[in-house]
Amino acid sequence: MSKNLMMTGFMVCLCFSFRPTIDTNPLWHEQKIKNYLPHMTSPDVSELLKKTDMVIIPIPALEQHGKHLPIGTDFLNGVERAKLVAQKTDVLVAPVLMVGQSPYHMGFAGTISLSSNTIVEVYFEAVQSLIQHGFKRFLILNSHGGNRAISIFLVDRINQETSGIAVELGEAASTLSKPRSSSSTSANEKKVFDRHGGINETSSSLYLIPNLVQMDKAEQAKLTLPAHMESMIPEVLEGDAATNLVFLAEGLKSKETGKKTSAAEMSSTGVWGIGDLSTATADRGRAETERFVSAAVLFIDKWKKLRPINAR
């Protein structure tokens, strides 16, 4: 090696070793996600408005999810699903609140709950802001059972009281979703009572937010339902629609109602299910997520065809 070349190499090394390290937030690991409002600039939004007038608004919750899933499970999973949809077809993803209606989870530390009136009002005003910017169609994505009626009411308020047009995205996607594959749920698993924080939700979380799931903390819940509700479970599992309606009308309600069906009154861990949590897998969560995402994309693309962006 020539003396010059050695000298150059030495200088390059010096340059690298003395380059000042830039101190940025060590906790920040997010990448800019396409069509995700919190990451976008105002010009990005204006550009997107040339391609679409559609917005997905997640309706999540901040509530206990047993000993192994984070308080933010419904918020995080809902937003992640929405982001995945928005990578496949142009639509804005606009999270507005993290908190939902969860009074029946208040017996476990960390849960935050807002009243249904407050929640609807906040989203309604957010939708009015988005309409001012030129958005027209709203896909309300509920990711928490306790927000079901709120989501339906919000959809109706948008349709009845504004120039916007809204649908609930879960319901919309279900019109076009493929039947569940046999690999995502085995025949035996279908017969197990598995609701809040159970195998399904744990599997989705293992796929969507893997490093926030603590499987080593997962614990089998001991359930103590009122006797008449306990006796409904076999029919609920058989898919009896009338029994299911009655079961859910009474189940998971706040302690203050006196129904003895709040999460803390019915479950030792906060999980409302007796499935074996160790059978939850990221693969099952992936299958469910992909099933939803592809159906949601099919629906959105169909709506884009049914009603072109500049339709009057």
Does 80 engage in binding with Zn ion (CB under 5 A)? no
User: Which segment (14-22, 25-33, 73-81, 90-98) binds Zn ion by CB under 5 A?
Assistant: 73-81
What span, in angstroms and rounded, lies between the C-alpha atoms of 213 and 207?
A: 10
Q: Which residue minimizes CB distance to Zn ion?
A: 74
Residue 46 CB, shortest distance to Zn ion, in Å, is 35
Which 8-state DSSP code applies to residue 126? Answer: H
Residues numbered 53-72 forming contacts with Zn ion, rule: CB under 5 A? none
Q: What's the distance, Cα to Cα, between the start and end of the chain in Å? A: 74
Residue 130 CB, shortest distance to Zn ion, in Å, is 26
Q: Please, which residue, 74 or 194, has the CB nearer to Zn ion?
A: 74
What span, in angstroms and rounded, lies between the C-alpha atoms of 167 and 156?
A: 8
Name the nearest CA neighbour of 129 among 106, 159, 158, 103: 158
What mask, x for binding Zn ion by CB under 5 A, covers residues 157 to 196? ----------------------------------------
Please answer whether residues 270 and 221 qualify as being in contact, where contact means their C-beta atoms are separated by less than 8 angstroms.
yes
Q: Please, which residue, 35 or 113, has the CB nearer to Zn ion?
A: 113
Residue 129 CB, shortest distance to Zn ion, in Å, is 27
Q: Please, which residue, 73 or 254, has the CB nearer to Zn ion?
A: 73
Residues numbered 81-100 forming contacts with Zn ion, rule: CB under 5 A? none
C-alpha distance from residue 2 to each of 7, 10, 11 (Å) = 9, 12, 14
Residue 103 CB, shortest distance to Zn ion, in Å, is 15
How many residues bind Zn ion (CB under 5 A)? The answer is 2
Residue 75 CB, shortest distance to Zn ion, in Å, is 9
User: Which segment (7-15, 74-82, 161-169, 236-244) binds Zn ion by CB under 5 A?
Assistant: 74-82
Q: Using the rule CB under 5 A, which residue among 53, 74, 80, 288 binds Zn ion? A: 74
Q: Please, which residue, 76 or 232, has the CB nearer to Zn ion?
A: 76
Residue 71 CB, shortest distance to Zn ion, in Å, is 10
Q: Please, which residue, 70 or 164, has the CB nearer to Zn ion?
A: 70
Residue 73 CB, shortest distance to Zn ion, in Å, is 5
Q: What tokens were used for 271?
A: 């999980």
What span, in angstroms and rounded, lies between the C-alpha atoms of 135 and 116?
A: 25
Name the nearest CA neighbour of 81 among 56, 53, 48, 61: 56
What φ, ψ does residue 283 adopt, rounded to 5°? -65, -40
Please answer whether residues 105 and 139 qualify as being in contact, where contact means their C-beta atoms are separated by less than 8 angstroms.
no
Residue 51 CB, shortest distance to Zn ion, in Å, is 32
DSSP, residue by residue, 149-184? HHHHHHHHHHHHHSS-EEEEHHHHHHTTPPPPPTTT
Please answer whether residues 304 and 165 qualify as being in contact, where contact means their C-beta atoms are separated by less than 8 angstroms.
no
Query: For binding to Zn ion (CB under 5 A), which residues are involved?
Result: 73-74
